[in-house]
Homo-oligomer: A and B are copies of this chain.
Amino acid sequence: MIYSSELIKGTLKTIILKLLKDNKRMYGYEITQTVKELTGGKIQLTEGALYPSLHALEAEGILVTETEYIGKRVRKYYSLSPEGKTITKEKLSELADFMNTMKFLLDLKTSS
């Protein structure tokens, strides 16, 4: 089972930030593979969603990049800027809070 895309939409950026918080630096393709592995294939980030998000986060100053070459193949590493670390904490806190709220809503008594 793969989650419907609507679900991922709201959490994509926070997932990216969390991974970068844990791993210091990662490149795009690595992020897709890591998320896939960690979720048993339930979350599969598409390139068309991931790269524009990474570019947006970089443009906002939340992420910074280093480009490296592995042989002739380019790799663009992303990591959190100092400001990005602050934003990440806020986003993670908000998401944790949101999930508690959602859990509460979903656990309400069922009458049908």
A interface, CB within 8 angstroms of B: 1, 3-4, 6-11, 13, 15, 18, 21-24, 35, 38-39, 42-43, 80, 85, 92, 94-99, 101-106, 108-112
How many identical subunits does the complex contain? 2
A112 interface neighbour in B9, B21, B99, B108, Cβ under 8 Å: B21
Please tell me if the beta carbons of B10 and A102 are within 8 angstroms of each other in the complex: no
> Which residue of B has the minimal Cβ distance to A3?
B98
Please tell me if the beta carbons of A23 and B111 are within 8 angstroms of each other in the complex: yes
Q: Most chain-B CB neighbours within 10 Å: which of A4, A38, A101, A102?
A: A102
**Given the contacts A3-B94, A7-B94, A99 and B110 also touching, CB distance less than 8 Å:** no
A106 interface neighbour in B8, B96, B105, Cβ under 8 Å: B96
